[in-house]
Structure 1
Amino acid sequence: MSVSIRAHHLLCMLTYLGKGYTPAFVDNYNLIVKRLNAGEEIALINGPDEICQPMLEEPGCHCHNQSVRDRDRQALMDIGRSLGKHIEPGNVLILTKIDIDLLRNEFARGALRHACNGCEWYDMCTEIAKNRFRGCRLRLPLH
């Protein structure tokens, strides 16, 4: 089985501490991270993904906005460059601890932050990176 994830959420997962928009959002996100930590693959998709699901019925849900699609495109470019491969929606990713460590290092030095510009969580994620991602929930096994 695989977890359906939009590209910019690959960045969000790097700093995820268990905080989010609503309790339902956090509960859902915790389950997704648990699945990823157990070794499930990531199926990259366009548009709202499994992380978005609790938000889709909310008034003013941003998950379909052009700005979020632009964020996904930028994230794809930055993550692909960091991993040294072309990635796009439809790809299945099997990320390892080594990949996550690489992406977190790139995130901390700013190379993966282009898609984060304008995000309401930007400052919090910056502090998490400065704190060496301490307490983050995504902890993939070595493959």
Structure 2
Amino acid sequence: MLIITAYGIFAVSAFARAFYQITPFPQEDKVQFADAPLALSLSAFAAAVYILATLALARTSATAWRIALAAVLVEMAGVIGVGTWTLVQPSAFEVATVWGFFGRDYGFIPLILPFLGLFWLLRHRPSETVSAED
């Protein structure tokens, strides 16, 4: 339950951040999408990954397990890839992203969470029999 809660919190926070960053409502100190499409698109993608992972982790079917595994692996690749990219080329990121600098703005939890998720998923593999939910 704890892992689902953690993913749910990140799904909500990443979605809220992406929504705020991408909405076209003009605000004095807000970077608009046209000014930072890469960073803002990555924020939206991270939100989608967290939402998908949360929904899949909350289900118990073998299909949901496979979807959760894929989402967690994409998350892991994303946080490592984007984190490295922001270190190598910080000028490409006009605004912060969830995975930027390995999740620095979130206490590096985005870097730790996929490893915890993967550990949990591997410890809770579905049985080999096909269930009625598949």
The structure whose Rg is larger is 2
Which has a greater percent of strand? 1
TM over 0.5: no
Which has a greater percent of helix? 2
TM-score by length of 1: 0.32
TM-score by length of 2: 0.34
Higher relative contact order (CA 8 A, sep 6+): 1
